[in-house]
Chains A and B, each alone.
Chain A
Amino acid sequence: MKSIIALEKMIKDLEVRIAISKGQLARHNSGEEKLSLLAEASADNSLETHTPLLDEYRSLMKELEKFEKSDSYEHRRLRSAVERKKYYKYNVKKAKKQKLRENDERIEAAMIIDELPEEIILDNQELFEMSTRNMHQYLIFTDDSKTQLNDIQEEFNTLIKGFTDENIKSLELLNYMIPILIFHFVVFVQNIIEFKNNESEDKIIELDFFPRYHDWWINELWESHISYFSLMKWKNDVAKACLERKQEKAWTILFNNWIFIKTLINEKSELAFEYQYIFDSLLKKYVKLESELDKKIVKNSKKEMQTYIESEDLLSLLPQHHVLTAYVKYKKSNKKNI
Chain B
Amino acid sequence: MKIIEELEKKLELSVSRIKLAKKQLKENESGKLKLSFMVMASTELCIERNTFLVNRYRYKLKKLKQEDLKQLEENEKNKEIIRENNYFKYQSQRIKRTRNKNRKEIDAALSTLKDVPEDIRLEDKEIFEISHKSFTLCLDIHSDLDDELIEIKSEFLSLIEGNFNDVNNELKLLNYRIPIIILQLRILLKNIRENIKESKLEKYKFTGLPKFEDWWIHELWSSHQAYMGLFKWKQIILDLCISSEQKRAFEVIFKNWILVKKMLNVKGVFAYFYNYAFDEMILKYAELESEEDESNLNVMKGIVEKLTKKENFFSVSDTHNVVTPYMKFKIEKEMENKTENKDKR
Contacts and interface: CB of A to CB of B under 8 A. Distances in A.
Interface of A: 1-3, 5-7, 9-10, 60, 63-64, 67, 74, 77-78, 81-82, 85, 92, 96, 98, 100-101, 103-111, 113-114, 118, 120, 129-131, 133-134, 172-173, 176-177, 214-216, 219-226, 228-229, 231-232, 235, 252-253, 255-257, 259-260, 263-264, 266-267, 269-270, 273, 276-277, 280, 291, 293, 295, 298-299, 302, 306, 309, 312, 314-318, 321-328, 330-332, 334
12 contacts: A64-B117, A101-B198, A110-B187, A114-B177, A173-B176, A177-B173, A220-B317, A260-B263, A316-B224, A323-B294, A324-B215, A325-B218
B322 interface: yes
A134 B167 contact: yes
Residue with the greatest number of chain B CB neighbours at <10 A, chosen from A9, A101, A257, A273: A101
Nearest to A273: B329
User: Which secondary structure dominates chain B's binding surface?
Assistant: helix
B173 A176 contact: yes
A113 B145 contact: yes
Interface string B160-188: 00000011111011101100100110011
B231 A321 contact: no
Given A107-B191, A215-B330, A235 B221 contact: yes
A216 B174 CA distance: 26
Interface residues of B, number: 112
A328 B322 contact: no
Nearest to B244: A96
Contacts, number: 290
Nearest to A113: B180
B327 interface: yes
A85 B136 CA distance: 12
Interface stretch (B16-24, B69-77, B94-102, B305-313): B305-313
B117 A67 contact: yes
A260 to B, nearest CB: 5
A225 B294 CA distance: 28
A232 B130 CA distance: 54
Contact of B173 (A82, A130, A133): A130
Contacts of B245: 92, 100-101, 104, 107-108
A225 B297 contact: no
Nearest to B266: A256
